Amino acid sequence: MSAISIGQAVILGVVEGVTEFLPVSSTGHLKITEGLMNIPVDDKSVVAFTAVIQVGAIAAVLLYFFKDIVRIMGAWGRGLRHRDQRHHHDYKFAWWVVYATVPVVIVGLAAKPLIDGPLASLWVVAASLVVGSALMWAADQMGRHKRGEDDTTLKDALLVGSSQILALLFPGFSRSGATMSTGLILDLDRVAATRLSFFLGIPALTGAGLYELKDAVGAGADTTPLIVGTAVSFVVAYASIAWLLKFIARHSFNVFVVYRIAVGALLFALLATGTLNT
């Protein structure tokens, strides 16, 4: 029997869709939501469920940036066939995404027992929310916001891609928060840092979702909640992406910093009083 009902799948799909690309930690919010609904967060089917519904959010990115992805993949294909096309930025960028994904894949596979075990604690989530907030605030203050998307380099991609490891190991840190903050530290403007975060997240999150799919089904997870949760996360994530890109074009990340600290403090309080169990 599935540990997650259809109603719970809808709620988790909304949480995933809203938080996956906002720098507030989707993993942290999902674990908090599961705890509030008395869902066993250490159940293998539940862990796999939360990874699988990320595919819905990734599908939203693929649709939202469809024209950009087609352009980049087209340049990559032409570069593979014709040497004189390899100077194009889009061709290079396609390879950079591949290179930047390797570190997070290696760490993800090697550290999976820790990620699914001790590091899945809500205490870790609370601490990561607060520490990640400090990084985001510092990055926004330090960054000169002078470089656009066309100015990105292999170094940018590797550093931003590797920063995803922080969120992988410490749920609550936020993959988006870590990658956007790294982009800002590298002097990318907020829109460029956010778009780079989106593109670099596609292979890592898609791979994680597909990898966990077999565990979700094999652990006895009902496919109906999986489908419902994934569909809901797709719709909500699409709207979330559109809103975020418009918001950060005119505002700093301070609102997310304040929100993360508030959620982290609340979570500490809930855990300390026994209202939530890790």
For the entire predicted model, the pTM comes to 0.86
Share of residues in the chain with pLDDT > 70 (%): 95
Tokens 């169990």 correspond to 277
Rounded average pLDDT over 176-180: 94
Please say if the pLDDT value at position 214 is more than 80.
no
| pLDDT above 50 (res 1) | no
Question: What mean pLDDT is reported for the chain?
Answer: 90
Q: Are 24 and 256 in contact (CB under 8 A)?
A: yes
Q: Would you state the pLDDT for residue 215?
A: 63
pLDDT score at 198: 92
Average of per-residue pLDDT across 261-265: 95
Greater confidence, 16 or 46? 16
Cα 88 to Cα 84, 135, 166, 232: the distances in Å are 9, 33, 31, 37
Question: What angle do the packed helices 190-218 and 175-185 form, to 10 degrees?
Answer: 150
**Whether the predicted pLDDT of 220 surpasses 70:** no
pLDDT for position 207:
80
Rounded Cα–Cα distance for residues 150 and 156 (Å): 12
Q: Is 174 left (phi over 0), alpha (psi -120 to 50) or beta?
A: left
Give the orientation angle of helix 66-81 with respect to helix 54-64, to 10 degrees: 80
Mean pLDDT across 26-35? 86
Share of the chain above pLDDT 90, in %: 66
Please report the DSSP string for the chain in residue order: --SS-HHHHHHHHHHHHHHTTTTT-HHHHHHHHHHHTT--TT-HHHHHHHHHTHHHHHHHHHHHTHHHHHHHHHHHHHHHH-GGGTTSHHHHHHHHHHHHHHHHHHHHHHTHHHHHTGGG-HHHHHHHHHHHHHHHHHHHHH----B-GGG--HHHHHHHHHTHHHHHHSTTS-HHHHHHHHHHHTTB-HHHHHHHHHHHHHHHHHHHHHHHHHHHHHTT--HHHHHHHHHHHHHHHHHHHHHHHHHHTTS-SHHHHHHHHHHHHHHHHHHHTTSS--
Looking at residue 165, its pLDDT comes to 94
How confident is the model at residue 221, as a pLDDT? 58
Q: Quick one: pLDDT at residue 223?
A: 82
- Asked if residue 269 has pLDDT above 80, the reply is yes
The 10s digit of each residue's pLDDT in 34-81 is: 888 988 766 777 777 887 888 899 899 999 999 999 999 999 999 999
SS3 1: coil
User: How large is the C-alpha radius of gyration of the chain?
Assistant: 18
Q: Domain limits of the chain?
A: 6-272
Look at residue 47 in the predicted model and tell me its pLDDT: 75
